[in-house]
Amino acid sequence: MTSKLTRTTLTGFVPAVVTPFKPDGAIDEPAFAALVDWLIGLGATSICVAGDNGESWNLDVDERARLTRLAVDAARGRVPIATGVSAPSARQTIKYAQAVVEAGAQGLLVLPQPYVLKATRDELVRRFAALARAVDVPIVLYNSPRRSSGIELTVDDVDAIMNAAPVIGIKEASRDFFHHTHMIERFAGRMSIMVGPCHFILPGLALGAHGYIATGPELLGKLAARLPEIARAAPGAEYADAHFKLTRLYEMMMGTGTWPSALKAALNLIGQPAGVPREPVMPLAGAELEKVTRVMRSCGLVA
């Protein structure tokens, strides 16, 4: 079996898999397993379950655990599985973490306190220290001010958290490339820096990030796993083409419908069983679906 997620195995292409729902809101378990298998076939080095793409805000503790077990079974030891366990309180985060670890998760993806308007450094450190005491599993920090009510982990916050918990990496999803630059410069030798926004992937990898946990690269097929290789070579036509496609896809997905309806629509267009979003998010139709199709065609991904 694959060892626990580590700083050295958290690298390359790490997709946050969507959770396919049926029209009645039930999880389509065979479709989810098929998506995990497809992503590993594309070259994924790990799989992230119950992240933003997985509509984690709409999953209860039992569903997170069930999805984790399905992913572990589908992976068959080929790659580690990390599961998102973020909740406003440390107590609820620990409850999620214990359930998914029991189900086989080999790592945890964790935001600062979501829905809490601000947090002191002591509050941040206490949150992650409590999680570390409750479960003996590597932690991947998730810095996304948009998902945590504006709380942004500074480099000094990250340093303090690393001294209190077994942090092996970070999904850096700030929209500020200055911030990405400082994170890579300060921490690339201490943990795995994973880029979030699609349009930062290639420059971030070129500067020393170790990989990415992002939305959209899987639509590029096996090119997704080659992005680190492309980024670290001398920039050329392939670098530019990949960057422009990633940028168009990211803008389309972030600007069409309610997240993650556009990603699910795009996956369905390429024949992957992404299902529909769970209520209150509605699937795309009409002009919005046409927009997704148009952008996918412009990238040469559908006929």
Two structure tokens written together for 220? 């590029």
Rounded CA gap, 167 and 186, in Å? 15
Question: Catalytic pick from 171, 212, 245, 250?
Answer: 171
Would residue 291 show up in a list of annotated catalytic residues for this protein? no
Rounded CA gap, 249 and 292, in Å? 9
Would residue 96 show up in a list of annotated catalytic residues for this protein? no
The mean of the pLDDT values for the chain is: 95
Task: Please report the pLDDT score of residue 1 as a whole number.
Answer: 42
Two structure tokens written together for 154? 């500074």
Query: Which phi and psi (to 5°) does residue 11 adopt?
Result: -160, 165
* CATH superfamily for domain 12-234: Aldolase class I (3.20.20.70)
> How confident is the model over 110-138, as a mean pLDDT?
94
- pLDDT of residue 114 exceeding 90, the answer is no
Identify the H or E element spanning 227. helix 223-232
Number of neighbours of residue 286 by Cβ within 10 angstroms = 7
Q: What confidence tier does 303 reach under pLDDT thresholds 50, 70, 90?
A: confident
Two structure tokens written together for 258? 């309610």
Query: Which phi and psi (to 5°) does residue 252 adopt?
Result: -65, -45
Domains in the chain: boundaries: 12-234
Per-residue pLDDT tens over the stretch 118-129: 899 999 999 999
Per-residue pLDDT tens over the stretch 141-161: 999 988 777 889 999 999 999
Residue count of the chain, please give it: 303
Sign of the four-CA dihedral 207, 210, 215, 216: positive
Question: Catalytic pick from 4, 95, 115, 142?
Answer: 142
| Strand ranges across the sheet with 107-110 | 12-13, 211-212, 192-195, 167-172, 139-143, 107-110, 81-84, 47-49
Amino acid at 253: M
